[in-house]
């Protein structure tokens, strides 16, 4: 990871993950659980009107292999 990741909304994060092969496996309340065919999985809280927090964003990036460049490019 290089550079500071941009602010990302939950809806945009789910869209980015879907582009990379993740599917929404289920939604538990306000949390979407996404899974990739290779076994990677992550949870994205779907709280409207709020960006993902810095720590949560880094955890999702680690879980999924997304880089700062992936988030910037879309």
Residues 19/48/34/20 CA torsion (nearest 10 deg):
10
pLDDT value of residue 25 = 97
pLDDT band at 55 (very low <50, low <70, confident <90, very high): very high
pLDDT band at 2 (very low <50, low <70, confident <90, very high): low
Assigned domain for 22 exists:
yes
User: For the chain, how many structural domains are there in total?
Assistant: 1
Assigned domain for 3 exists:
no
Assigned domain for 53 exists:
yes
Assigned domain for 1 exists:
no
Selection from 36, 11, 10, 13 nearest residue 23 by Cα: 36
């Amino acid at each position: 990871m290089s550079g500071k990741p941009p602010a990302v909304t939950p809806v945009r994060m789910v869209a980015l993950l879907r582009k990379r092969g993740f599917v929404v496996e289920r939604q538990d309340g306000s949390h979407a659980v996404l899974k990739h065919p290779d076994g990677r999985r992550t949870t994205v809280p779907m709280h409207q009107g709020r960006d993902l927090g810095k720590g949560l964003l880094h955890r999702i990036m680690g879980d999924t292999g997304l880089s700062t460049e992936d988030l910037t490019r879309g």
